[in-house]
Structure 1
Amino acid sequence: MKKEERIKDWFTLYHNDIYNFLIYYLGTKDVEDMVQEVFVKGFICIDQFEQRSDPKTWLITIARNVAIDYMRKMKRQYALVDHLRSIFFEKSKLPQDCLLEDERKQNLYKAINELKTSYRDVVILRGILDFSPEETSRILSWKIDKVNLTYYRSVQSLKKKITSEKWSDYIDAINR
């Protein structure tokens, strides 16, 4: 199968998974350009795909790296943007607020976002996107034992952050 056909098939199969991963990882709906970047990088590097894992796992790894690069770039720009916003505009909703209108979801998103990076990665991959420990270990380049231990610790950390009983259904969902 040609590279072009292969990447088209993968795009059809995994576009929504990549899109959802980036939304959860970055907390914004504005990720279409990054989804495209993931598939462009996948196309460029498709010869390096060794087929030892599922293509979705490989593409999620690329998406994670694209998101990390984006966050590094944006981190430098946020200080200036926040300063200008405070000078010229009233506080308006951030993209995350628009995405997560429901208060419970906002609080859960905030609690997940406050986790350290390794905990957040595992919660998003295992708890939200429902990847297996094996898939998560390939995406993060960790041993399965580390994935399981980090996931357990991240859920415990989330439980401490979210003490209200109304969160028990979310915590139970993440625990699965």
Structure 2
Amino acid sequence: MKKEERIIQWFTLYHNDIYNFLIYYLGTKDVEDMVQEAFIKVFQYIDQFEQRADPKTWLISIARNIAIDHMRKTKRQFALVDQLKSIFSEKSKLPHDWVLEDERKKELYKAINELKTSYRDVVILRGILDFTPEETSQILKWKIDKVNLTYYRSVQSLKKKLTSEKWSDYIDAINR
């Protein structure tokens, strides 16, 4: 398969995954340029892709590095709570339901944002985007044992931050 065909195939299969990862990682919906940048890098370095890994994990790794570079360049702190408000605007809900849900999401994103970087990375990849430990280890370039241990510790840290009963269902879901 030609280089261009492979890139088109990967874009079709994985651009939504990369887009969603970057939204969670950066806390903003304005990540289209970074998705493009990721695929430009993929195009430049596709000859270095060792087909031992899943292309999806390789692409997410590239996107993660682009996001980290972006954060360094702009020297922004994560502002997940404020920037994600617009993502969850749903008109069909009653105002009371929206307020309760919005507060819960704010609390969750604030707690995730307060985690140290390695914990936050694992929570986003494993807990939110539902990557396997193997995929997460490939993306973060960690051993699977480190992924599992860090994920366990990050969940414990979130439990401490989110001690109220309204979070018990969420914490239970993460622990599965």
For the 8 Å contact 1:27–1:99, the answer to whether it is kept is: no
Backbone CA RMSD of aligned residues: 1.5
Greater alpha carbon shift after TM alignment, 163-172 vs 36-45:
163-172
Aligned to 1:96, which of 59, 84, 107?
84
**Aligned residue identity for 1:99:** I
Residue 100 of structure 1 deviates from its aligned partner by 4.7
* 4+ aligned runs moved over 2 Å, structure 1: 93-101
Residue 7 of structure 1 deviates from its aligned partner by 0.5
Residue 95 of structure 1 deviates from its aligned partner by 2.4
For the 8 Å contact 1:100–1:106, the answer to whether it is kept is: no
Residue 47 of structure 1 deviates from its aligned partner by 0.4
**Aligned residue identity for 2:158:** L
Q: Does 1:4 align with 2:12?
A: no
**Sequence identity of aligned pairs in percent?**
83
In the TM superposition, 1:129-140 aligns within 5 A as 129-140=129-140
Number of positions where the alignment pairs a residue of Structure 1 with one of Structure 2: 161
Q: Distance in 2 between matches of 1:55 and 1:164?
A: 40
Q: Distance in 1 between matches of 2:88 and 2:150?
A: 26
- Indicate the residue corresponding to 1:109 in structure 2: 109
Unaligned runs of 5+ residues in structure 2 are 90-101
Post-superposition Cα deviations, 1:11-42, rounded to whole Å, max 9, x if no partner, equal: 00001100110000001111111111111111
Residue 126 of structure 1 deviates from its aligned partner by 0.8
- Indicate the residue corresponding to 2:74 in structure 1: 74
Greater alpha carbon shift after TM alignment, 35-44 vs 94-103:
94-103
